[in-house]
């Protein structure tokens, strides 16, 4: 079973999404955030269940889709690092993601 680590960026992303949803439906925002955490928890048992991120093309960088949101994560040994959460209408810049990982 893999350990899940949320990066500060991913937590900030999820908080911003929750705040945005809460402007119109505060109760739904809380439910949405809870369900995102539940979806991510399933990765503990099945870390490679998400697809490889098309923009990156690396085996260890994967994503799951939750509603209209993409949850991007890194699989390494017994750890899953949640890297970012963002709306699927936005473009993922591979350079931004790789810089978060400490790569050039």
The Cβ of residue 17 has, within 10 Å, a number of other Cβ atoms equal to 18
DSSP state of 17: H
Residue 103: band (very low, low, confident or very high) from pLDDT cuts 50, 70, 90: very low
Domain that holds residue 13: 3-90
Token reading at 27: 């109760």
Q: Does some domain include residue 20?
A: yes
Give the CATH number for residue 83. Answer: 3.30.2310.20
CB 43 within 8 A of CB 57: no
Q: Tell me the mean pLDDT in the region 83-101.
A: 77
| Predicted structure pTM score | 0.88
Q: Does some domain include residue 100?
A: no
Number of domains in the chain: 1
- Residues 15-63: pLDDT tens digits? 999 999 999 998 999 999 999 999 999 999 999 999 999 988 899 999 9
């Amino acid at each position: 079973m893999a350990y899940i680590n949320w990066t500060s960026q991913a937590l900030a992303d999820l908080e911003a999404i929750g705040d945005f949803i809460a402007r119109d439906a505060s109760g739904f925002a809380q439910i949405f955030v809870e369900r995102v955490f539940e979806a991510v928890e399933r990765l503990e048992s099945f870390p490679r269940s998400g697809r490889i991120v098309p923009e990156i093309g690396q085996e260890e960088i994967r994503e799951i889709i939750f509603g209209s949101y993409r949850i991007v994560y890194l699989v390494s040994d017994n750890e899953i690092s949640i890297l970012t959460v963002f709306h699927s209408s936005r473009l993922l810049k591979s350079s931004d993601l790789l810089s978060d990982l400490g790569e050039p």
